[in-house]
Amino acid sequence: MRLRGFSIGRPQRVAALLLLVLFGQCLWTIGHQPLDANDFRYARCGREMWESPSVLQGYFTTCGNLNGDGTLAYRLAGLPLTAQRVLLLSIDHLRKPADRLYANGSLNGTTWEARHELSFIPYLLRLPFVLFAVWLGGGLWWVAKRLFGPEGGALALALYTFCPAIVRYATHPNNEILAMWGLYGLIYTAIGVGHALQGPRSMWRPRILLLTAALGLTAAAHLLAGVVGFLAGMAFFFYTADRRRSYVSQIMVYAAMGAMLIVFAGFSFKLSAFLYVFTGGSVRSWFALFAVRRFLTQPANAGIVVAAAVALVVYGRNRRSRYFGNTAPLLMTLLLFPLYTTQVISAPWVWALPFLFTFIGGVFADALESRQRKLFLLLTVSVILTQAALCWASLAGALPL
């Protein structure tokens, strides 16, 4: 089956099924978790960004100037609630004056009078983050399939789908899932721009604009992710640009300028709040192994850990697996897993997960083309089924997260 040049075959149907399973897992989790203080914080301050109420003097929102948190998650959490409020007011204006819910059909510009009329708040608040997680899953499959074929893409997406950490961060408002989405897209967009420079100039501009948007949205989610993505993306960009390397610095400078404009827009173009980005300390970070140890020792991650260990052994012993497609996600995994922030509370290790799954998918795809295909096919199926069972057990509360 083809849809405007896009072939819908077995790989696409398998990917769609896995993404549907991920979406179902997230909806089930949302339905079984009540709202907490952090949810209300994102909802309140996100609505303030969109609805611009009177806030504390000298602060961007009642959450502060958000020098540690990016603005993207707050805006994403508040947008559905603000949209529903606007819809309620629009409908109220169509009623007769005697039947209106509010005096004179107006809320007098305030933020909170309609809150008791809002419905489905747990889903409206959390669903945007679920959609970004599904979007990232689709991007992960697309990258892995193009690099390693259908089998590598399916394995990478399956591990992503049944990773408890992915489901946990996808079902609560947070900047980690957005930074992960942005950073993964930024790295592979930078690599794509490097390849595009070998082609006609007509192909350059749209990819450079996409690179700028990816860098800006990543920085708007978390400034450290933006800085890491800029430096790592520039390194990969320089490597893949080959004979066009003289253009790399110029393109990255223009992308950085456009990205800062996107971050500025996240602060509603308020210079006083935007300046705290440079003094808040959200980029201060160092390296430690406590997050790695915790991830490796959690029972719910056993399938992923086994697959990663096997992939590292194969990568080290098989020269055929040591090429750029496998090495790039491995380097990003090694960089991000031990990274931690020293000034703000964050979880950069989560950003490493899509790169880890890409690496595993690539190495296993190479092994499935070797003489040991039957052995690795059995191992692949076993890993997926085991990780799925562990993920569902952890979501049901039978295993610790």
- Spatial separation of the C-alpha atoms in residues 301 and 387, rounded to whole Å: 7
**Model confidence over 291-305: pLDDT tens digits?**
999 999 999 999 999
Is the pLDDT at 312 greater than 50? The verdict is yes
In degrees rounded to 5, what are phi and psi of residue 62? Answer: -70, -10
Q: What does residue 341 show for φ and ψ, rounded to 5 degrees?
A: -90, 140
Read off the pLDDT of each residue in 308-320 and give the average, rounded to a whole number.
Answer: 95
Contact by Cβ (8 Å): 222, 181: no
Tell me the per-residue pLDDT of 163-182, one tens digit each, with 9 for 90 and over.
Answer: 999 999 999 999 999 999 99
Does 110 have pLDDT greater than 60? no
Residues in the chain, how many? 401
Specify the higher pLDDT residue, 159 or 318: 159
Average pLDDT over residues 38-58: 80
State the chain's mean pLDDT as an integer: 89
The pLDDT value given to residue 204: 87
Average pLDDT rounded to a whole number, residues 350-371:
96
Structural contact between residues 172 and 384, judged by C-beta atoms closer than 8 angstroms: no
- Phi, psi values for residue 2, rounded to 5°: -125, 140
pLDDT of 63 over the 90 cut: no
For residues 356 and 339, what is the distance between their CA atoms, to the nearest angstrom? Answer: 15
